[in-house]
């Protein structure tokens, strides 16, 4: 079954946004790097970059949901329903995790536990975006629901 034009345009847009989000994640990761002679990071820089990420991520998730992209994919291939439902459900949890990190006071941001939590969050978000890309790619190439 061929992808619907709205699925194609929406999926391509989302994949492009994922590339932009990966760049923001890279900026957060760079700020987490151990201090060096030319370091531009540290906990306060990480916190500021998490603030920027929050705005972009909320807008990205909102656009995915508003466009109804995952509903369109499920209409195209009902076998994608469990994964699409899981992905959309993760949006609230990921934003909540990010908000918890952003709420940390300056002293807490200097603790190894906060840095570890940021790394876990970045891993969770990266995994989420990768799984979304897999679903979107299957929808674009028509392999969603195709027999193995």
Residue 115 forms part of a structural domain? yes
Residue 100 forms part of a structural domain? yes
Count of domains for the chain: 1
Residue 148 forms part of a structural domain? no
Give the pair of three-digit tokens for residue 69: 């992209």
Residue 147 forms part of a structural domain? no
Tens of pLDDT along 21-58? 999 999 999 998 876 666 667 899 999 999 999 999 99
- Tell me the residue range of the domain where 89 lies: 5-32+39-141
- C-alpha span between 9 and 136 (Å, rounded): 11
**Max CA pair span of the chain:** 56
Residue 118 forms part of a structural domain? yes
Q: Enter the pTM of the model.
A: 0.85
Residue 116 forms part of a structural domain? yes
* pLDDT at 146 (0 to 100): 43
Residue 146 forms part of a structural domain? no
Tens of pLDDT along 55-110? 999 999 998 888 888 999 999 899 999 999 999 999 999 999 999 999 999 999 99
Of all residues in the chain, the percent with pLDDT exceeding 70 is 89
Nearest to 98 by CA among 57, 44, 43: 57
Residue 65 forms part of a structural domain? yes
């Amino acid at each position: 079954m061929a992808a619907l034009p709205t699925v194609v345009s929406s999926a391509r847009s989302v994949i492009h946004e994922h590339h932009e989000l990966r760049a923001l994640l890279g900026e957060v990761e760079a700020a987490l790097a151990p201090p060096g002679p030319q370091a531009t990071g540290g906990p306060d820089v990480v916190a500021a970059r998490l603030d920027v990420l929050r705005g972009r991520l909320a807008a990205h998730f909102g656009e995915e949901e508003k466009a109804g992209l995952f509903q369109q994919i499920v209409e195209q291939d009902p076998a994608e329903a469990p994964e699409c439902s899981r992905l959309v459900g993760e949006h609230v949890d990921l934003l909540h995790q990010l908000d918890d990190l952003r709420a940390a006071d300056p002293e807490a941001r200097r603790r190894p536990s906060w840095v570890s939590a940021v790394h876990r969050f970045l891993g969770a978000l990266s995994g989420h975006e990768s799984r979304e890309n897999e679903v979107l790619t299957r929808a674009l190439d028509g392999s969603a629901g195709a027999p193995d």
